[in-house]
C-alpha cells in the first residue's frame, strides 16, 4: 500500500460524498455514494466503517465481504463478476492484491470547476498473471467516474502452455503463456436499499430515448448494445431511485457507460439486499485476447447522484462545459440541405437555398448526402470520397465560396465508416469490407458477407490500408474545400463485422479507429467542428462528445416527437451540443402537420438548425419568411442563456402538458417553455410553478417570442400575459413562483408558450 494516512478515503464535491474503503490490500469498496456527509475526521470515518459493516448470516460464507467497485467472485460476490475471462479455460477467477493506492488532485484549466480528486490503485493477481490499474475520480461537478485496465503479465506458472500440455504429463521444453481472453470488464457503483425503481431508455430510428420504468428487484437488469454503436434503442442513462422519483425530487443514482461501440449496462440486486449499477464495454466473442505485455483499457463509467433527475443531469452538463475544448462560441444557426433537395443537387436550387438561408439569418450551410462519385441514390458510392465532377464540374469550391460570400460557414456530410458494394472502392478492395472469417470457396459454398442495410456494408477501419485511405481522403477534402463543419453519419449496425486480416471481430478496434479519425482531423484542422450522427441519435454518449462537438438527436424533426426526445436526451447532453432543427410543416418521418410556432418553439431549445426548403413555395410566403426570421432572431437573442444556463424540467401532475426551461448561472434570468402535447381532461389552464430560481429575488414575468395567443374558443390568456392591460408588469419572488406559480395560458394541442423572467430592478 502507499503511505496514505488512512485506509478510508473521503472524496467530496458539489454536495456529493464518496467514501471508499482501501484497506486490507483489497480492491476499493464504496461505503457511501450520495448526499454530502460533511467534513469527517479520522475518528468519524472509522466509526462510519464500523457502522457500515454487515454481520454474517446463516447459509452464507463465514464472513460478509463488501463488494468492490470491480466485483470479484472470489470474495463471495454471486452476481455478475467485474472481470471475466480465461486462458484456454484456466485462470477463470481472480483475487487481486492491491500494491499501491494514491490520492491526488488536479486543477481545471478553465477555472470553472474545483479540482478533480483522483484515487489510483495498482493491483495484481500473481496466479492469473494479471495486473489491474483502477482510477476513481470525483469531478468538481460532483460527478464520479471510474475506469480500469487489465494487463497480461506472464508472471507465475498458471496458464503456461507447452509442447507437452496435452495430458501427456511431459514437461514443456519451451513454455509459453496462453493469451488471456477477456470476456468482460465492468465497474459497478453501489446504491442503497431505498433505490427500488429503475429508469432507462429504449427506442428505434426516429423514436430515440423512449423512457421505461421497472421495479429494481432481485436479479440483474442487463441491457446490451451489439450494434457497434450505442444504437437507437440504447439504455443511455440507467437510474435507480426512490419510488416515484422525478426531475425535481426523489433521490436518484445514475450511471452511464461512456463508449461509442458495444456496451453493457447492469442494474443488479442480490437476495442480500446489495444493489449495484454500472457496466462496461461488451466484447464480441474472442475479440480481445491479451498476449503477454498487452493491455486492455475499459471506458469511463460515470456515476451521478442527485435529488431529482435535474440535479443528476446538471452534473454531466457542468462537466462537459468545464472542458477547455468545449464549444463555447455562439452555436451558429444551421441550414441543412437534406430535406430540401435530397439527392437532387441542382445548382440553381442549391444557390437559391443559400440565398434564402442567409435571408432568414442562418450562419452555417451544410451540404448533405449526394455530392460524391456515383451518389445519385443511397444504393451506391459510399467509399468513393471524391467530388462527383458530373454534378460539380468545378468541384465544391464555387458553392462553398458562394455560401461564405453570404456570411455563412460551409459544412459537408460524410459517412466514412461505411461502404456500398456498388462502389469503385468495394470493387477494388473487397477485402476492406468487414465480414465473418473468409473461408476458401468449396463445392459447398464459400465465405459470406453480412446482411446488407441500406445497401451498405461496414468498412473495416482496423485494416491499415483501409484506415489510411479514409484518413487521406478526409484530410484532402477538408484541406481543399475548407468546410467549418462535418456532419459525420453512421447508418448501419456492425453485423458479423470481422477483419479479413485476423478473422477476429472488430467492434472494439473499430471504435478506437473512429476516435482516431476524429482526433486526427481536429488536430490537423483546428476550428473544424464535427457532428456525431448515426442514422439520427444512434451514437450518443459522453465519450463521443469528447471527440465531436454535437450530436444529431434524431432523424425526425417532428416537434411532438422532439419534445420528448430533447427532454430525455438532455439528461446527458447540454442544449448547445444537441442538434434541434425546424422541419417542414409536414414531417416526412411521421406525416404530422404542425405550425411553425410549435416547430420553432421546440427547436430553439438545442443547437438550432433548419431542415426545410426555405427557398420553396411554403417558406417563401412573406409572412412565413418573416415569422421564420423572427424565430431565428429570438434564438440568437437567448442562445447565450440557453447554452450556459441550468436546465430545469418540471414534473407536471397532468399528461399532455410539458414545462421546461433554462435558468442563468447567476439566477438573474430564465426562459421557460410551456408546451401542449395533447388535449387534457382537466381545465386547459391551471397553475404552473417555475422552479430553479433564487427564492429571495423578485422577477418580472412576461411572455416572449413571435407567438401571440388571443382568447379564442377553448384557449384562454391569463392576465399576466398582457400585463400592461391588467395593471402593469407581474413581479413575484422566486420562492412564490416555485411554490405557488402562475396561471398557465390555455393551449391547443401542439402549441408552445415562452415565459421570460428577469430580475426586477
Instruction: Say if residues 307 and 251 touch (Cβ distance below 8 Å).
Output: yes
The Cα 296–Cα 739 span in angstroms is: 52
Q: Decide if 651 is catalytic.
A: no
Burial class from Cβ neighbours inside 10 Å (0-12, 13-18, 19+) for residue 406 reads middle
The Cα 168–Cα 142 span in angstroms is: 58
Instruction: Say if residues 168 and 162 touch (Cβ distance below 8 Å).
Output: no
Buried/exposed 304-321: b ≥16 CB within 10 Å, e otherwise:
bbbbbbbbbbbbbbbbbb
Contacts of 509 (CB under 8 A, 6+ apart): 287, 461, 462
Contacts of 151 (CB under 8 A, 6+ apart): 130, 131, 132, 133, 290, 293, 294, 295, 296
CB half-sphere exposure, 420, CA atoms < 13 A: 20
Candidates 131, 384, 489, 558; catalytic one: 489
Cell of 481: 474545400
Q: CA torsion sign, 277 to 280 to 282 to 285? A: negative
Q: Apex CA 625: angle with CA 624 and CA 626, to 5°?
A: 90
Count CB neighbours of 121 within 10 A: 25
Q: Decide if 489 is catalytic.
A: yes
Order of strands, sheet of 698-704, starting from the edge strand that comes earlier in the sequence: 646-649, 657-663, 669-676, 751-759, 698-704, 730-733
The residue to which cell 430510428 is assigned: 205
Burial class from Cβ neighbours inside 10 Å (0-12, 13-18, 19+) for residue 582 reads buried
Instruction: Say if residues 91 and 179 touch (Cβ distance below 8 Å).
Output: no
Cell of 501: 486480416
E strands present in 14-172 = 16-21, 29-35, 83-86, 97-106, 116-125, 130-138, 144-152, 160-161
Candidates 369, 555, 558, 597; catalytic one: 555
Q: CA torsion sign, 106 to 107 to 108 to 109? A: negative
- The interaxial angle of helices 464-481 and 507-524, nearest 10 deg, is 30
Cell of 9: 478515503
Question: Which residues are annotated as catalytic?
Answer: 489, 555
Amino acid at each position: 500500500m502507499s503511505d496514505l494516512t488512512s485506509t478510508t478515503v473521503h472524496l467530496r464535491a458539489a454536495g456529493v460524498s464518496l467514501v471508499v474503503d482501501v484497506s486490507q490490500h483489497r480492491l476499493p469498496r464504496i461505503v457511501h455514494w450520495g448526499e454530502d456527509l460533511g467534513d469527517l475526521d479520522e475518528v468519524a470515518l472509522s466509526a462510519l466503517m464500523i457502522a457500515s459493516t454487515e454481520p454474517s448470516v446463516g447459509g452464507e460464507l463465514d464472513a460478509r465481504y463488501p463488494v468492490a467497485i470491480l466485483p470479484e467472485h472470489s470474495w463471495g460476490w454471486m452476481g455478475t463478476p467485474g472481470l471475466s475471462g480465461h486462458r484456454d479455460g484456466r485462470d477463470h477467477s481472480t483475487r487481486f492484491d492491491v500494491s499501491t493506492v494514491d490520492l491526488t488532485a488536479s486543477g481545471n484549466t478553465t477555472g470553472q470547476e474545483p479540482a478533480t480528486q483522483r484515487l489510483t490503485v495498482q493491483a495484481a493477481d500473481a496466479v492469473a498473471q494479471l495486473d489491474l490499474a483502477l482510477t476513481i475520480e470525483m469531478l468538481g461537478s460532483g460527478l464520479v467516474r471510474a475506469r480500469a485496465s487489465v494487463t497480461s503479465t506472464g508472471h507465475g506458472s498458471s496458464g503456461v502452455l507447452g509442447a507437452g500440455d496435452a495430458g501427456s504429463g511431459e514437461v514443456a521444453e519451451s513454455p509459453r503463456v496462453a493469451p488471456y481472453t477477456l470476456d468482460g470488464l465492468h465497474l459497478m457503483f453501489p446504491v442503497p436499499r431505498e433505490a427500488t425503481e429503475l429508469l432507462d431508455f429504449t427506442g428505434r430510428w426516429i423514436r430515440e430515448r423512449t423512457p421505461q420504468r421497472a421495479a429494481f428487484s432481485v436479479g440483474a437488469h442487463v441491457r446490451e448494445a451489439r450494434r457497434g454503436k450505442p444504437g437507437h434503442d440504447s439504455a443511455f442513462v440507467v437510474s435507480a431511485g426512490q419510488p416515484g422519483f422525478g426531475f425535481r425530487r426523489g433521490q436518484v443514482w445514475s450511471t452511464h457507460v461512456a463508449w461509442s461501440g458495444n456496451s453493457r449496462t447492469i442494474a443488479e440486486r442480490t437476495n442480500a439486499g446489495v444493489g449495484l449499477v454500472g457496466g462496461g464495454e461488451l466484447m464480441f466473442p474472442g475479440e480481445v485476447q491479451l498476449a503477454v505485455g498487452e493491455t486492455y483499457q475499459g471506458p469511463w463509467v460515470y456515476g451521478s447522484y442527485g435529488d431529482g433527475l435535474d440535479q443528476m443531469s446538471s452534473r454531466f452538463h457542468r462537466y462537459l462545459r468545464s472542458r477547455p475544448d468545449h464549444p463555447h462560441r455562439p452555436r451558429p444557426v444551421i441550414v441543412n440541405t437534406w430535406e430540401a433537395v435530397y439527392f437532387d443537387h441542382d445548382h440553381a436550387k442549391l444557390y437559391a437555398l443559400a440565398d434564402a438561408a442567409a435571408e432568414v439569418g442562418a450562419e452555417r450551410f451544410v451540404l448533405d448526402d449526394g455530392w460524391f462519385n456515383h451518389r445519385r441514390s443511397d444504393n451506391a458510392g459510399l467509399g468513393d470520397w471524391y467530388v462527383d465532377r458530373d454534378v460539380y464540374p468545378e468541384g465544391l469550391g464555387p458553392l462553398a465560396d458562394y455560401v461564405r460570400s453570404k456570411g455563412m460557414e460551409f459544412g459537408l456530410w460524410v459517412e466514412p465508416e461505411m461502404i456500398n458494394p456498388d462502389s469503385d472502392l468495394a470493387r477494388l478492395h473487397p477485402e476492406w469490407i468487414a465480414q465473418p472469417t473468409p473461408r476458401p470457396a468449396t463445392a459447398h459454398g464459400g465465405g459470406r458477407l453480412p446482411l446488407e442495410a441500406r445497401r451498405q456494408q461496414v468498412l473495416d477501419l482496423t485494416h491499415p490500408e483501409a484506415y489510411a485511405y479514409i484518413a487521406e481522403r478526409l484530410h484532402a477534402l477538408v484541406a481543399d474545400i475548407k468546410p467549418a463543419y462535418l456532419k459525420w453519419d453512421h447508418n448501419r449496425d456492425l453485423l458479423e463485422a470481422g477483419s479479413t486480416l485476423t478473422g477476429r471481430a472488430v467492434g472494439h478496434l473499430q471504435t478506437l479507429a473512429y476516435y482516431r479519425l476524429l482526433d486526427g482531423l481536429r488536430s490537423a484542422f483546428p476550428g473544424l467542428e464535427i457532428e456525431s450522427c448515426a442514422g439520427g441519435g444512434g451514437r450518443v454518449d459522453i465519450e463521443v462528445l469528447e471527440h465531436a462537438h454535437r450530436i444529431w438527436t434524431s432523424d425526425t424533426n417532428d416537434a411532438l416527437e422532439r419534445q420528448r426526445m430533447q427532454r430525455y436526451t438532455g439528461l446527458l447532453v447540454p442544449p448547445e451540443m444537441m442538434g434541434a432543427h425546424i422541419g417542414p410543416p409536414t414531417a416526412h418521418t411521421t406525416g404530422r402537420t404542425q405550425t411553425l410556432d410549435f416547430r420553432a418553439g421546440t427547436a430553439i431549445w438545442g443547437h438550432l438548425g433548419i431542415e426545410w426548403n426555405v427557398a420553396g413555395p411554403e417558406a417563401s410566403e412573406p409572412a412565413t419568411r418573416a415569422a421564420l426570421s423572427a424565430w431565428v432572431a429570438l434564438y440568437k437573442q437567448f442562445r447565450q442563456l440557453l447554452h450556459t444556463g441550468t436546465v430545469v424540467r418540471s414534473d407536471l401532475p397532468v399528461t399532455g402538458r410539458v414545462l421546461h426551461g433554462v435558468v442563468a448561472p447567476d439566477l438573474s434570468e430564465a426562459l421557460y417553455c410551456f408546451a401542449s402535447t395533447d388535449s387534457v381532461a382537466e381545465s386547459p389552464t391551471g397553475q404552473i410553478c417555475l422552479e430553479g430560481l433564487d427564492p429571495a429575488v423578485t422577477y418580472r414575468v412576461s411572455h416572449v417570442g413571435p407567438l401571440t395567443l388571443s382568447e379564442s374558443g377553448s384557449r384562454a390568456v391569463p392576465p399576466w400575459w398582457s400585463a400592461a392591460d391588467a395593471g402593469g408588469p407581474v413581479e413575484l419572488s422566486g420562492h412564490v413562483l416555485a411554490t405557488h406559480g402562475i396561471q398557465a395560458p390555455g393551449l391547443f394541442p401542439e402549441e408552445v408558450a415562452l415565459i421570460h423572467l428577469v430580475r426586477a430592478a
